[in-house]
Amino acid sequence: MTHLVRSVLAVAVGLAIGILQAGEPAPLSADQIDKLHQLIKPQRGEARWMEIDWHPNIWEARQKAAREGKPMFIWAGSGGAPAAGC
């Protein structure tokens, strides 16, 4: 299990236990929010696809691949949204 999944599960279980015991959770302090943010944001190496220099223009990507002698990887999804665009 990745660090991110373990952290999110730990936070969820902790919040659920707190809600069940206290009825309503206490507001989070700024320090707690910062700590949770550090736990749930992608850690180095967990989102490797975001490190790729994506090119939304197929013609420019093709020219770059030809210049560098590298293959192209084309990723398309429904709706036509660019990678990491939403």
Taking only the tens place, the pLDDT of each residue in 53-71 is: 888 889 999 999 999 999 9
Q: Are residues 8 and 34 in the same domain?
A: yes
**pLDDT value of residue 66:** 96
More confident residue, 40 or 20: 40
Same domain assignment for residues 12 and 35: yes
In the predicted structure, residue 18 carries a pLDDT above the cut 80: no
Question: Is there a single domain that holds both residue 27 and residue 54?
Answer: no
Q: Is 73 exposed, middle or buried (0-12, 13-18, 19+ CB in 10 A)?
A: exposed
Half-sphere exposure (Cβ direction) of 43: Cα atoms closer than 13 Å: 11
Q: How many helices (H) and strands (E) are present in the chain, helices listed first?
A: 3, 0
Q: Is residue 61 part of a domain?
A: yes
Domain, as residue range, for 30:
3-40
Number of domains comprising the chain = 2
Structure tokens given for 18? 């707190």
User: Quick check: is 45 in a domain?
Assistant: no
In-domain check, residue 83: no
